[in-house]
Amino acid sequence: MDDEPEFADFAAKRADALLRYAYVLTGNPHDAADLVQEALVRLRGSWARVRRKQDPESYVRTTMTRLHINTWRRRKREYLAWSPPERAEPEDPFGRADDFAEMWQQLALLPRRQRAVLVLRYYEERTDAEIAEMLGISQGTVRSQAFRALAKLRAAVSATTLSSILAREGDVQ
């Protein structure tokens, strides 16, 4: 196959960014790795078409988002332990997860579509129209899902945790 080196080069260059995106979607490094792997497998099958017609990274991210939302249809949700109790805690490869522990926990409790909307809006900085197209929903549904998700997060995350996170980020003096 002529395009195999091109695909391998793309996958090697963008793997870290895709893994970070998947981690924000799933909140779990194990699920994030699975999500990236599945999306890259699907990209490989469509590589000849995708590389000619559109941005391959956009295709992979859209695939990852849709796979994440539809996961509940394929299998029951598994909650993996971060580490076995008899082992020492591994170093966090995604950095500073402890600072955001409560926020991550609450984000993980949101319904998949609400979480995906927040990730696409605030992490990916997508417009409502782009999010609606990616998820196959209307722009009004995007706005209502974001509103509901933010309301749940505001109610769940304590004010002290939120202010300490913002202070560490330099947003609050």
CA-nearest of 87, 122, 127, 108 to 27 is: 108
| Position with higher pLDDT, 169 vs 29 | 29
Residues 70 and 103 in one domain: no
CATH number of the domain to which 144 belongs: 1.10.10.10
Average pLDDT over residues 132-140: 91
Residues 79 and 14 in one domain: yes
Rounded Cα distance, 62 and 131, in Å:
9
Average pLDDT over residues 131-153: 91
Percent of the chain with pLDDT over 90: 27
Quote the domain boundaries for residue 83: 1-95
Residues 64 and 103 in one domain: no
Residues 119 and 66 in one domain: no
pLDDT for 172 equals: 42
146 CB-side CA count, 13 A: 19
Residues 108 and 173 in one domain: yes
| Position with higher pLDDT, 49 vs 165 | 49
Residues 78 and 121 in one domain: no
Give the CA dihedral 153, 159, 163, 164, nearest 10 degrees.
-100
Average pLDDT over residues 53-79: 76
Residues 163 and 89 in one domain: no
Q: What confidence category does residue 131 fall into, taking pLDDT thresholds of 50, 70 and 90?
A: very high
Structural domain count, the chain: 2
CATH number of the domain to which 4 belongs: 1.10.1740
Q: What confidence category does residue 142 fall into, taking pLDDT thresholds of 50, 70 and 90?
A: very high
Residues 103 and 144 in one domain: yes
Average pLDDT over residues 146-170: 72
Residues 69 and 5 in one domain: yes
- Tell me, what amino acid is at 66? R
Residue 38 has pLDDT above 60, yes or no: yes
Residues 1 and 80 in one domain: yes
Residue 80 has pLDDT above 80, yes or no: no
pLDDT for 173 equals: 40
Q: What confidence category does residue 77 fall into, taking pLDDT thresholds of 50, 70 and 90?
A: low
Entry pTM = 0.53
Residues 89 and 126 in one domain: no
